[in-house]
Amino acid sequence: MNAPAGFPPSRDPQASMAEKLRQEAVEGPDPVHTAPPKKQTQIIAIYGKGGIGKSFTLANLSYMMAQQGKRVLLIGCDPKSDTTSLLFGGKACPTIIETSSKKKAAGEQVAIGDVCFKRDGVFAMELGGPEVGRGCGGRGIIHGFELMEKLGFHDWDFDFVLLDFLGDVVCGGFGLPIARDMCQKVIIVGSNDLQSLYVANNVCSAVEYFRKLGGNVGVAGLVVNKDDGTGEAQAFAQAVGVPVLAAIPAHEDIRRKSANYEIVGKPGGEWAPLFEALGVQVAEAPPLRPTPLTQEGLLGLFKGDVVGRDVVLQPATQEDMRAAGAVAKPSLEVVYEGA
């Protein structure tokens, strides 16, 4: 085997590595950057319970923002890979993880056109995830971001990058934007139900945890989807100290069009003012430091007949666990007087 170009032939890998390090050491530092700074891209991570309507919200929001003249990149970070399906009329786009595996097997490099697609000014891609039972979804997220960096992510010129994250999963990969300050702010999608607000509260807890460690990411606000007017989501937002950016009603027209993969956030349409206002809020809302609720505080937002707060916990006994076969036996413990 021939030695790598620029290095003397050697059978000792340690000697080759030492020579490589010496050559790197004599290289001068990169020049100081003196060019005018580029505009700052707003990178916003959107979290929420699975099925709560993140993809619906983001598809319509990104479409409206593009129609308003903004350069928008939408990135699906959910293993279900359904973030872009509404944007592309129900058509699935190849994921970064799947494409990367196929290209690697063929000895080819991934190109941006293999994984990024556009519609009416919106650029979109899906990170994807592993097959069921065959890998870690969080690790897939990390791998996807590493590949995007190789494709030039930090040099892309967008006004907004919207990241669609699954909020139910609390492993490290899904918390990446918060933990590593990869975004400036978080937006939560929730509804007037306990499970979605439980997830929202967990996201607030994650933001607060990393703020205590020196992080800078904050929560810009809550989008209430399928709002039925009962008010629990608004009460939650007020309790944790974040604004409600928009309340999307539980309306049959929205449900039907979304089920048919239609964009409702189009200029001039019935729901255009809603998404126009949401676009402004998303752009301008500052990142805030939330105050997460305790479990009891979260349950307190709901009526007792909804969450069962009147239930009393009764400790079980060994007799309960063994049913009819329980036999009381004297203790063999030795108790010393004066102990």
Residue 181 binned pLDDT confidence (cut-offs 50, 70, 90): confident
Residue 116 lies in a domain: yes
Residue 30 lies in a domain: no
Least confident span in 14-18, 110-114, 144-148, 219-223: 14-18
Residue 60 lies in a domain: yes
Q: What is the DSSP string of 183-223?
A: SSEEEEEE-SSHHHHHHHHHHHHHHHHHHHTT---EEEEEE
pLDDT, tens digit (0-9, with 9 covering 90-100), for 193-224: 999 999 999 999 999 999 999 999 999 999 99
The pLDDT assigned to 32 comes to 40
The pLDDT assigned to 26 comes to 54
The pLDDT assigned to 25 comes to 54
Q: What is the CATH number of the domain that holds 263?
A: 3.40.50.300
> Where are the alpha helices (H) located in the chain, listed in sequence order?
13-25, 54-67, 96-105, 112-115, 137-150, 176-179, 194-212, 232-240, 252-259, 272-284, 295-299, 304-307, 318-322
Least confident span in 44-53, 128-137, 280-289: 128-137
Residue 337 lies in a domain: no
Residue 31 binned pLDDT confidence (cut-offs 50, 70, 90): very low
% of the chain beyond a pLDDT of 70: 79
Least confident span in 181-185, 205-209, 239-243, 316-320: 316-320
Contact indicator for 60, 264 with CB cutoff of 8 Å: yes
Reply yes or no on whether the pLDDT at 56 is more than 90.
yes
Catalytic residue ranges: 49, 54, 80, 168
Residue 147 lies in a domain: yes
Reply yes or no on whether the pLDDT at 263 is more than 80.
yes
Counted domains in the chain? 1
Mean pLDDT throughout 243-270? 94
Residue 244 lies in a domain: yes
Q: How far apart are CA 211 and CA 205, in angstroms?
A: 10
pLDDT, tens digit (0-9, with 9 covering 90-100), for 296-305: 899 888 876 6
Domain containing 206 equals 42-299
The pLDDT assigned to 37 comes to 39
The pLDDT assigned to 189 comes to 96
Per the model's pLDDT, the better-predicted residue between 187 and 172 turns out to be: 187
Residue 308 lies in a domain: no
Helix (DSSP H) and strand (DSSP E) numbers for the chain? 13, 8
The pLDDT assigned to 250 comes to 94
pTM recorded for the entire structure: 0.78
Residue 1 lies in a domain: no
